[in-house]
């Protein structure tokens, strides 16, 4: 095969083909036809099936969430390497203004500027999933606890200075633990400080955590006990 002499440049258009040559040409044409009409379509179909199955498996494993246009989201901090670092970018929240064909999200900050990058659902978190504090008519999202101070005439009790999500420092307010829907925010705050809250505050917060858990379990139990509505059938 190698070092074989190269064919001379000749005009073969006038060369007559014998019967064997005709059969060889027709056989090769049949092979090409089978490749283009049977083999290649089968390969393409099988490849699509494998790709689709792999995509479904990936989506189930990652539990991806699709954020609707207009949703408010937090952006995960890509540089966070320890539990003491903020999990989310401190500025925000961001608004989902567009989605591309691949499912990546285009975000807009509070000033109306578009972020230069596109973000996958894994890089985002819905604002509603973050710790919240109840107001009289609505819930407010806690961005961070900035500081704490003891309450006068209440030994072992504290107030916490709250930075609110989507608000600047001028809107910070002091709140007590009873205002928190999720007291784990307070527990994590003390853990990051590397110190302990008072025994009295610990007792009260643990009681609230216990009560919240009992309420959740009770609600789940009631949901299971509620009779399911029978579907209407038509003959």
- pLDDT confidence bin for 44, thresholds 50/70/90: very high
By residue count, the chain amounts to 235
pLDDT (0 to 100) of residue 234: 44
By CB neighbour count within 10 A (0-12 exposed, 13-18 middle, 19+ buried), where does 43 fall?
A: exposed
Residue 161's closest CA among 138, 150, 83, 198?
150
Place of tokens 């975000």: 107
* Ramachandran angles phi, psi of 168, nearest 5°: -90, -175
Bridge partners (DSSP) of residue 124 are 75
Note whether residue 222 is domain-resident: no
Q: Which of residues 83 and 113 earns the better pLDDT score? A: 113
pLDDT (0 to 100) of residue 47: 92
Cα distances (Å, whole numbers) of residue 200 to 144, 156, 168, 204:
23, 6, 32, 6
pLDDT (0 to 100) of residue 154: 86
- pLDDT confidence bin for 158, thresholds 50/70/90: very high
Residue 76 has pLDDT above 70, yes or no: yes
In terms of domains, do 145 and 203 share one? yes
In terms of domains, do 115 and 135 share one? no
Place of tokens 């049977």: 38
Note whether residue 9 is domain-resident: no
Residue 1 has pLDDT above 60, yes or no: no
pLDDT (0 to 100) of residue 227: 60
In terms of domains, do 164 and 94 share one? no
In terms of domains, do 190 and 207 share one? yes
In terms of domains, do 115 and 180 share one? no
Q: pTM of the full predicted structure?
A: 0.40
Q: Assess contact for 175 and 216: CB atoms under 8 A.
A: no
Out of 12-16, 29-33, 80-84, 200-204, pick the least confident: 80-84
Out of 72-86, 158-172, 204-218, pick the least confident: 72-86
Q: Assess contact for 142 and 165: CB atoms under 8 A.
A: yes
CA dihedral over 192, 129, 95, 63, signed as positive or negative? positive
Range of the domain at 104: 72-127
The mean pLDDT of 136-148, rounded to a whole number, is 74
Q: Which long-range contacts (CB under 8 A, 24 or more apart) does 103-112 make?
A: 103/64, 103/66, 105/67, 105/73, 107/73, 107/75, 110/166
The model's pLDDT over 210-223, given as tens digits with 9 standing for 90+, comes to 888 888 888 778 77
Quote the number of domains for the chain.
2
pLDDT (0 to 100) of residue 129: 47
In terms of domains, do 117 and 160 share one? no
pLDDT (0 to 100) of residue 43: 92
Residue 78 has pLDDT above 80, yes or no: no
Assign residue 184 the CATH number of its domain: 2.40.50.40
Residue 142 has pLDDT above 70, yes or no: yes
In terms of domains, do 111 and 181 share one? no
Residue 119's closest CA among 70, 73, 85, 79?
73
The model's pLDDT over 219-235, given as tens digits with 9 standing for 90+, comes to 778 777 766 555 444 44
């Amino acid at each position: 095969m190698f070092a074989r002499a190269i064919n001379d440049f000749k005009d073969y258009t006038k060369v007559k083909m014998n019967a064997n040559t005709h059969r060889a040409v027709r056989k090769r044409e049949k092979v090409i036809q089978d490749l283009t009409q049977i083999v290649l379509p089968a390969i393409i179909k099988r490849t699509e099936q494998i790709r689709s199955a792999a995509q479904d498996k990936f989506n189930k494993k990652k539990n991806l969430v699709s954020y609707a246009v207009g949703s408010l989201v937090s952006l995960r901090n890509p540089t966070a390497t320890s539990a003491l670092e903020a999990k989310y970018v401190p500025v925000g929240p961001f608004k989902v203004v567009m989605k591309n064909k691949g499912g990546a999200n285009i975000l807009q900050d509070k000033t109306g500027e578009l972020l230069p990058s596109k973000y996958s659902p894994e890089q985002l978190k819905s604002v509603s999933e973050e710790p919240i504090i109840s107001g009289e008519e609505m819930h407010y999202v806690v961005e961070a606890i900035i500081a704490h101070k003891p309450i006068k005439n209440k030994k072992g009790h504290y107030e916490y200075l709250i930075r609110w999500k989507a608000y600047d420092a001028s809107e910070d307010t002091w709140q007590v633990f009873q205002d928190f829907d999720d007291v784990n925010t307070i527990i994590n705050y003390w853990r990051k400080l590397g110190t302990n809250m008072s025994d009295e505050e610990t007792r009260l917060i643990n009681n609230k955590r216990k009560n919240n858990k009992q309420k959740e379990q009770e609600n789940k139990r009631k949901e299971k006990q509620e009779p399911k509505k029978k579907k209407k059938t038509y003959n």
